[in-house]
Amino acid sequence: MPESSTNKVAWKAVRAGSTTKCLSQSVALIKEELKLMYDQIVSVSIHDVKVHHGDIEVVVFYRTESTVDNSEPTESLDYKVIVRDEDVNWDTIQQEMLLNYANVPGQKLCSVGSTFRHVGEEKIAACWTMDGRQQKVFQHIIQSHEDNWEAMIANANDWLNTHLTPYEFNGVVMYEDEHPLAERESQTGMRNIIIYHTAGPSPKPLSEVTSELESKIYEITTFQVPEAEGWEKVYGQVTQKIADQGQVQGHHIATAITGDDDKKGYCTAILVKYDLDMAQSLADIRGGGCCTLF
């Protein structure tokens, strides 16, 4: 289906003091208020609103029009959530998410997110799934106690461009082990990026399986404003960037509340964009051309 000149990427967010209430509201937003089809969901992301004592928020980025013939309605959409005490290791939580929630038979993954909650000192991982079939989902985890977000995001961009076709890309999550980072876990607090994909547990570099790599596939743009300026400013910057690119498909957005060395908070988002022509040329190199692109 050709792209409509009126189709665009928009956003809408829900905010609550309760994690389960916020997640329930996000499902109602998608299914009942926006009435989205599956292919309209660009990404769903979860984050604390502030570094200290903020509510929790879920933001939905979506296309205003469906672009896929016979796309599925989201009537079966639901969320799964893991809430653990701050003493539980994040690796344990992410493995539980991967094994027990992101890979459920008869369910396909729409989006996934993680955040630390300063209120209650909880670690939260959530995903949104609906009825359907999908290939097995895997994680590529990038962690660092010393690297800043700029270096982490550059690392993620390099790995995406060398290892994944867009048909194998299922989304990305970013979060800090806690916030403010190093307030409690001063020796081990990590910045984290998790790339979800269907290319297997240890995907070979694309250069080993194809000669079609003529240019970079992915480009990541970072947006960040002081938390006092509000999340709406970041959302507006993201959607304006997409509009300026003139490409309504081929995006994924992740959000996180982040802190600096002075424990000041920032509303942070990354926009992953991939080249649509490159996506088509790489569709079948690992048998991945059966799936819907973001």
**pLDDT mean across residues, the chain:** 91
pLDDT of residue 145: 87
- Listed in sequence order, the DSSP H helices in the chain are 19-28, 90-100, 149-163, 231-245, 276-281
Residue 289's pLDDT band, with cuts at 50, 70 and 90, is: very low
pLDDT tens, position by position, 19-50: 999 999 999 999 999 999 999 999 999 999 99
pLDDT tens, position by position, 108-124: 999 999 999 987 789 99
Which range is most confident: 73-82, 210-219, 255-264, 270-279?
A: 73-82
pTM: 0.93
Half-sphere exposure of 193 (CA within 13 A, CB side): 26
φ, ψ at 32 (rounded to 5°):
-105, -40
Residue 52 vs residues 22, 139, 177, 178, 266: alpha-carbon distances, Å: 18, 29, 14, 11, 11
**Between 138 and 185, residue with greater pLDDT:** 138
Question: Nearest-CA neighbor of 139 among 107, 173, 184?
Answer: 173
Three-class SS of residue 148?
coil
> For residues 113 and 254, is the Cβ–Cβ distance under 8 A?
yes
Q: Domain boundaries in the chain? A: 9-281
Residue 183's pLDDT band, with cuts at 50, 70 and 90, is: low
Q: How far apart are CA 89 and CA 274, in angstroms?
A: 33
Residue 1's pLDDT band, with cuts at 50, 70 and 90, is: very low
Residue 76's pLDDT band, with cuts at 50, 70 and 90, is: very high
Q: How does DSSP classify residue 181?
A: T
Three-class SS of residue 231?
helix
**Between 185 and 246, residue with greater pLDDT:** 246
